[in-house]
Amino acid sequence: MIGRLRGILVAKQPPWLVLDVHGVGYELEAPMSTHFDLPEVGREVSLYTHYAVKEDSVALYGFLHEAERSLFRALLKVSGIGAKISLAVLSGVSTDEFARFVQAGDVAALTRIPGIGKKTAERILVELRDRVDGLSGPGHVPGLAGAVPQDPLAEATIALQQLGYKPAEIARLVKEAAEPGDSAETILRKALRAALR
């Protein structure tokens, strides 16, 4: 099992990133909370990882904080939740916010996260209520990292598509969030906050 990787960030194109560890390029999928805080391409970064093996695929997921990986793993244990929804949760709310939603039994807040319907939210509450206390820690406190991409609107749009938002909703969120000079990370962060209101 691969538990942690430290290397040079070679590429970041949400939700994917590539980490060069002594000449080996590891392709990882990561939540937007991790992408927000990544350093510039070419800089060193250390990531906690989750290695997933299925009958037809192998995947590696990366997280800047242990609390994010713990929540990701806890969500995977909930019936009917896979990696895609777990990443959407981490991309939409911090580990602390998620813990508060579960402790408060806030189904409405959970259903605002893409991919989570009422029944899934209720399952999360039942299955994670007793385990959510240990999940708080550093999470989605985005900091701007990296240079402004050449087409931040397109990058933010692609990231929202991969998080499960519908095209009409993406167009609205990006239009409301984007301001001249904003990086893709900034647009995405504002769009995700607006989507959760």
**pLDDT (0 to 100) of residue 109:** 87
Nearest to 79 by CA among 124, 146, 145, 134: 124
- Name the class of domain 4-63: mainly beta
Helix (H/G/I), strand (E/B), else coil: 84: helix
**pLDDT (0 to 100) of residue 139:** 43
User: What CATH number does the domain located at 69-135 have?
Assistant: 1.10.150.20
Q: CB under 8 Å to 21, separation ≥6 — which residues? A: 5, 6, 7
Tens of pLDDT, residues 102-130: 888 888 888 888 778 899 888 888 888 77
- Domain 152-195, classified CATH 1.10.8.10, yes or no: yes
Q: What are phi and psi of 165, to 5 degrees?
A: -75, 150
Domain layout of the chain by residue ranges:
4-63, 69-135, 152-195
- Terminal-to-terminal C-alpha distance of the chain: 38
**pLDDT (0 to 100) of residue 15:** 86
Q: Exposed, middle or buried: residue 163 (CB in 10 Å: 0-12, 13-18, 19+)?
A: buried
pLDDT in tens, the chain (197 residues): 788 999 999 999 888 999 999 999 999 999 988 988 899 999 999 999 999 988 888 999 999 999 999 999 999 998 888 898 899 888 888 888 888 888 888 888 888 887 788 998 888 888 887 776 655 544 433 332 333 334 677 777 777 777 777 777 888 888 888 888 888 788 888 888 888 77
CA distance 128 to 98: 11
